[in-house]
Each structure stands twice: as C-alpha cells, then as structure tokens.
Structure 1
Amino acid sequence: MIKQNSKTSFSLRKLTIIGVLGAISAILGMTPIGFIPVGPTNATIMHIPVIIGAILEGPVVGAMVGVIFGIFSIIRSITAPTVISPVFYNPLVSILPRVLIGITSYYTFITLKKAGKRLSTIVVTLVWSGVIVYLIRNFVIQLNSYNTNEIGLWQLVFSGLLIIITLLIGYFSYKKFKEQSIEVVLSAVVGTLTNTVGVLGMIYLLYGKWFVEKTGGNPEMVGKTILGVAIANGIPEAIVGMLIVTSVVIGIKRTDKR
C-alpha cells in the first residue's frame, strides 16, 4: 500500500509539473513575453519550460511539455497568422521537434554527468567562450550602428547588460554549483538547438522553396537562406536559454537540498 501511494504521489507530481510548465509555455507562445530582443533578432524562450521539465523530471515530462508547446504553436499559427503560418499546421513541424527537445536535453544532462567533470568543464568553457565572443562582436556592431543613428540607445544598453549578465551567471553558477551547472548549461544549448534545427530542418524538407519565397528570399538558395535563419535565431536563443535554464534549475536544486 505504501509503495502504491508513493507511486501515485510521484505520478501526480509529474502531472502537476507537466501542467504548470505546459501552461507557462502556452502563455509565452500566445503573448509577446515569449520573445526577447537580442541584438538584431528576437530570441524565443517558449522552449525553455520543456528543457527545465526534462532536466528536473526526466524525458517523459519534457516530451509531454513539448507536446503542449507544439499544440499551442499550431493554435497561435491559426489565431495570429503570418505569411509562413501554414507550415506550422503540420505536426511534423510544430510538434515533433518540440517533443525531441525534452529527450535530447535530458540525455545530454545524463551523459555529461557520467562523462566526468573534466570533460564537461572543457566543453562548457568552450561554449561559454563562444557565447561571450558572439555577444561582444554583436555589441561592437551595434555600437557602430548607434554612432550612425541606426539603432536606439536602449538596444545598445541591452546588449551591454547581456554581456555582463552572461559573465556573472557563468562565474557564479560555476563557482557555487560546479558539479551541476556544467551539465545544465550544455543541456540548455542542446535543447535549444534541437528546437531550431528540428523546426527549420522539417521546413526545409517539406516546404523549403515555398518558405523562402514567402519570406522574400531567393528560391534558388533554399539551403543557404534557411541556414541563415537558423544561425540568426539559434545563437541568441541558445544564449538566452543558457542564462534562464541555468538560473532556474540550479535555483530549484539548491532549494530542494535545504
């Protein structure tokens, strides 16, 4: 009887977390809150609840939150349509990649925990270094644009603050939570790239030429155009994902230990 109650409680916990994170993902997807300006592009954070659910509760929870995320992508494409909305009516574009986010995030987390601290530290150092270089390069570009009055002061300030926040979170997360933050950071990166590559990859396979034409690109350069979109969106989203997921997951794990 005790085991049965324990199992029921465990299942209820998972269902509750799926509901809460799914609701957060839906709110992010249906409102402007789900988009953060990072340099010249907007980074979506709608996939972040999926990654958090996978790291904290496993691949099943992550996958289920991903399903909810995908369903609301379809709903948003119907209720707030754009020229490219029809591609998201297809579950292979809107749902499948979002389910995979939870799976890849979780197994990245587990694999790195087993790989050992030294290898994980090297990998995460390279990732963080790449992020800082990207942000500094973007800041320099924006500084030049500000000098020629092409962008506003708030955009320049935001880019500068993002560099500072990235450095601080990277330092404190490693300093205080060495053995946990490394796996979390890289899981966030992998989960984010799964979303970007998965969605754009399916669009390339199923709607490539049509998608490029609708976005005003050259239909003879489908691969290069979609790759450009992936880089422009994927890097900022990975940066924002690393910052938010690391902060939330480590904060929750620290609270659980008390």
Structure 2
Amino acid sequence: MENREQARPIMRTRQLTVAGMLASVSAILGLTGYGFIPLPTIKATIMHIPVIIGAILEGPAVGMMVGLLFGLFSVFQNMTAPNILSFALLNPLVSVVPRILIGLMAYYCYKLVPSRNESVRIGVGAAVGSLTNTIGVMGMIYLLYAADFAAARGLNSDSVHTVIWGIILANGIPEAVISVLITIPVVVMLKRSTGRR
C-alpha cells in the first residue's frame, strides 16, 4: 500500500518568502551601512529588527534563518571594514550564534506573555529579542575575549566587567526601545493586511 503521508516541510512557501524578504532587508541595511550605527565603543545595530519581525510573524524558524544572515553579514562586515572589536566579531560564537537566538527568544516571549493585548505581547518579544542580541554578543566577548577586549580598549582587566555592562546598558536599552517602537506598528499592520490575528 502506497504511503500517502508526505513529510511535512520544515518551512512553508510563505515562510520562505517572508524569510527571503526580511533577509533582503537585513542585507540592504548591512550593505548600505544603515544597519550599523557606529558609536565610540561598538556599532549599535537595527539589523535585528527584521529578525524579530520574522520570528513574531512566521515563527522561530524564520526568525532564526534571518538571524543567521544577520550574523553572517556581521562577520563579512568585520572582514571588509575592521574596527576595534573585529578580532572578536569574526568568531561565529560572538557574531552569529546570538543573532540566531534573537528569533527564538523573540518568538517564545511573544507567545508566552500572559496578556491579551497584542501590542504588549509584540513589544515584549521585540524588547527581549533586542536584548538577546546585545547581551549575547557582549556576553560572548566577555567570556571569550575579556583580556583582548581590555587590551584593545586600553583598560585595566579588572574594569572589563564594568565596561561591558556599561555598553550593554548604553546600547542595549536604546536598541530595545527602538525595536519596540518599530516592531509593534509593523507587525500589527502586516497582521491586519493579511487577516491574521
């Protein structure tokens, strides 16, 4: 007897389309430089916003795929336009893995927030996804490259912890706020335009 059951694809056509479009947005942000905002200590980014939007709209697989592209683009940018932290950001554990986790964290925080208010759920997902990026990248730099980071910045090794947390607060909070302000209206509009709740 012929088995009529077909293996369920990992991603549906629609999910692949959304992932492709958001990945294109990430690529444009990266290629034009608009996705990375240079600050004195690190480049702040808005490239995580397409990752968050993809995860909330289409699930963690889409978010993780867009996050993978974001991370790979970060490696590419640090190869072609090095900065003071490029020695660390060339490592995929620093620049790729945390970006993949953005989609996972944003999606599950969005899903698990015990609120009936869609905007609140989207906002929490966006904030957590954004903070996953900042804490993940800076945390991996601290774990893997604390001494190198201190040397590159001309710091005492005892002050690295404080400086890293300062960067997380100085970059992470504004990035999270921007993510929330952009993600909520975009996701709400896209859900309404496609008739989804």
Same structural fold, with TM-score higher than 0.5 when normalized by the shorter chain: yes
Answer 1 or 2: which has greater helix percent.
1
Structure possessing the higher radius of gyration over alpha carbons: 1
Alignment of 1:233-248 (within 5 A): 233-248=171-186
User: Which ranges of structure 2 fall in alignment gaps of 5 or more residues?
Assistant: none
What residue in structure 2 maps to residue 232 of structure 1?
170
Question: Relative contact order, CA 8 A, sep 6+: which one is greater?
Answer: 1
Residues 164-187 of structure 1: CA distance to partner in whole angstroms, max 9, x if unpaired? Answer: xxxxxxxxxxxxxxx311100010
Q: Is the contact between residue 115 and residue 121 of structure 2 (CA under 8 Å) also seen in structure 1?
A: no
Distance 1:191 1:180 in 2: 16
- Could you tell me the TM-score, scaled by structure 2's length? 0.87
Aligned to 1:33, the other structure's residue is in SS state: coil
What residue in structure 2 maps to residue 22 of structure 1?
23
Distance 2:14 2:37 in 1: 30
1:35 Cα offset (Å): 4.1
What residue in structure 1 maps to residue 195 of structure 2?
257
What residue in structure 1 maps to residue 150 of structure 2?
212
User: Which ranges of structure 1 fall in alignment gaps of 5 or more residues?
Assistant: 118-178
Distance 2:20 2:195 in 1: 24
Alignment of 1:100-139 (within 5 A): 100-112=101-113, 115-117=114-116
- Could you tell me the TM-score, scaled by structure 1's length? 0.68
Is 1:69 aligned to residue 61 of structure 2? Answer: no
Is 1:180 aligned to residue 143 of structure 2? Answer: no
For residues 192 and 14 of structure 1, do their structure 2 counterparts lie closer, same or farther at Cα, with a shift above 3 Å needed? same
Residues 117-139 of structure 1: CA distance to partner in whole angstroms, max 9, x if unpaired? Answer: 3xxxxxxxxxxxxxxxxxxxxxx
For residues 66 and 87 of structure 1, do their structure 2 counterparts lie closer, same or farther at Cα, with a shift above 3 Å needed? same
1:56 Cα offset (Å): 0.3
Distance 2:77 2:101 in 1: 20
Alignment of 1:40-55 (within 5 A): 43-55=44-56
CA RMSD of aligned residues (A): 2.2
Identity of aligned residues (%): 51
Runs of 4+ in 1 over 6 A off after TM superposition: none
